[in-house]
Amino acid sequence: MAEQTIPDHTAVRTALWRALHLLADHPPYILEDRIGWQLVAPEENWQARPDMEPNFTQRVRAAICARARFCEDVVTECQALGIQQYILLGAGLDTFAQRRPEIASRMQLYEIDKKETQDWKKGRLLTLGFGLPEWLTFVPVDFESESWLEQLQKSGFDPSQPAVVTCTGVTMYLSKEAVSHTLMQLAQLAPDSTLVMTFMIPPDRMEAADQQIQQASQKGARSAGTPFVSFYAPEEMHRLATEAGFRTIAVLTHREIADRYFRDRQDGLLPASGEAFLVAGT
């Protein structure tokens, strides 16, 4: 099979939205990520793409940046408590390792994703001079036929030690059975492990301001062959985490994220209402 020349389209869009935040929004910035843009190296007129229109995408790109910021804050807190393993489940074009080496280099990072996307990303990191440090391990997984947990352990992960796990922008593409199974696997990690997982709430529970772009996102996902298949009410996700066996469980809505990162802004920037967070501990 020939190597693909671009990574997953959703990973590209996420990276460009994070870059657009620095170009279209006012400081203080929720997240400063120029490296994702460097990895993608988009065409000159990329900001003219329909899915990059500054006003239409404002709330969703704010949510994307807040999602990454929240995960990084949790990872930083876990590292300060002595957690030395960080798993990025569905890593895409995440740039934490490159932007925050002062934190990342004190941990062992495991980026899990499809082989094609990872091969492309590694090539771009080398081309841009970032290198592939020993503390960063890429774990290629065919999610249709392989166990990500088995592949993770084969790559050096120590299951006897706690870890922090982030899984963002993934659950909507998986069946509810697959998400439930993944939660059960994660709940079996060593005591004091922490999971941050995002999930999409049902469209009819989103704010009216977000329903149009949500419809556009679903249409784009279907046409790309990666339709959204799973939505969860916050209470449903809490129940699934309970059934999986997590010791501590919290569900954060977009309002709580807004209160954390967008309070007192003068430009009215707020995150979209379509995504919520599960934060669970073993």
Give the Cα separation of 184 and 242 in Å (integer).
10
Give the Cα separation of 61 and 44 in Å (integer).
20
**pTM for the model:** 0.94
**CATH fold of the domain at 9-281:** Rossmann fold (3.40.50)
Give the Cα separation of 229 and 18 in Å (integer).
25
pLDDT by residue, tens only, the chain of 282 residues: 344 456 788 899 999 999 999 999 999 999 999 999 999 999 999 999 988 999 999 999 999 999 999 999 999 999 999 999 999 999 999 999 999 999 999 999 999 999 999 999 999 999 999 999 999 999 999 887 789 999 999 999 999 999 999 999 999 989 999 999 999 999 999 999 999 999 999 988 888 888 777 776 767 666 666 778 899 999 999 999 999 999 999 999 999 999 999 999 999 999 999 999 999 999
